[in-house]
Amino acid sequence: MAGQPPGYNQGQPQQGGYPQQQQGYPPQQQQPYGQPGYGPPQQQQGTPGLAIAGLILSIIPCTWPLGLIFAIIALVQSGNRNGAGKGMSIASICICGVWLVLGIIGQIAQHA
């Protein structure tokens, strides 16, 4: 065949008309027992319910003590959950602190 580089197809078509290719990558070896490997993807954990309850209860003026308790429990548990709900718990504790300060100021103003 004229116009083709020498050695190309040599006039005999291969199966399917395409040149055969070598296998790409060797098969993967399985990890021996005890060796770390890639496992299935872990599910995303949502915000813990105690942190949400603590935030909601800390916003309401008359229930802030319960919100403080829930927020402290959620903050302690956030260490076991890779920090899930930690920021919400800290925000709840800060809001409860604001309610406490406002309550003290209100009591002082009432007796003055």
> Does some domain include residue 38?
no
> Does some domain include residue 66?
yes
3-state class (DSSP) for residue 68: helix
Q: Please give the tally of structural domains in the chain.
A: 1
Return averaged pLDDT per consecutive 10 residues of the chain, 112 residues in all.
58 58 64 63 75 95 94 92 90 96 95 86
Q: What is the pLDDT of residue 104?
A: 95
On whether the pTM is more than 0.75, the answer is: no
Angle between helices 86-111 and 49-59 (to 10 degrees): 20
Quickly list DSSP for 56-88. HHHHSGGGHHHHHHHHHHHHHHTTTTTTTTHHH
> Does some domain include residue 3?
no
Q: What is the pLDDT of residue 62?
A: 93
> Does some domain include residue 54?
yes
Q: What is the pLDDT of residue 89?
A: 95
> Does some domain include residue 24?
no
Q: What is the pLDDT of residue 21?
A: 60
